Amino acid sequence: MTGQHLWEIDHPYYAQEGNYYSRDQQCHTRFASWDEFTETTFFDGDRDLNLLYRWDWQKPGFHEWDGEEQLKLFFILQRKAICCSVEMSITEAEEPRVRWFLQECAQTMRAVWEPIALTEAVAA
């Protein structure tokens, strides 16, 4: 564990829900809970096909957020070139399970970028 709670991490910039190029309502899905989300293929499906590229845990009092506590996950469905997102209500007690899922997804991202050393880039 990094010592920081997931809701304390402030990612640079932000990601927009859904897909800019599609009005399809299926590009952003709202789940009632983490447990409901875990019953989907986003959770237990192929990590390469449903590539998680970003997550945001929004908690009142952090990063100018005053809404309900929620988790947003942003995916690229690589075979279909679809950008989509999901969100769900979340609680602090679910952090260990969420962290496990994010670490699983990070392993896939690491494999994608493995040929490139993740060190500071040096201009050629």
CB under 8 Å to 22, separation ≥6 — which residues? Answer: 82
69: DSSP letter: -
Distance CA 124, CA 116 (A): 15
pLDDT at 120 over 80: no
Q: Are 53 and 75 in contact (CB under 8 A)?
A: yes
Between 13 and 36, where is the model more confident? 36
113: DSSP letter: H
pLDDT at 106 over 90: yes
pTM, two decimals, is 0.86
Q: Model confidence over 36-81: pLDDT tens digits? A: 999 998 999 899 999 999 999 998 888 777 888 999 999 999 888 8
pLDDT band at 87 (very low <50, low <70, confident <90, very high): very high
Percent of the chain with pLDDT over 90: 55
Q: What 3-state DSSP class applies to 54? A: strand
Domain ranges for the chain, please list them. 6-113
pLDDT band at 92 (very low <50, low <70, confident <90, very high): very high
Distance CA 16, CA 85 (A): 8
Q: What confidence score (pLDDT) does residue 122 get? A: 64
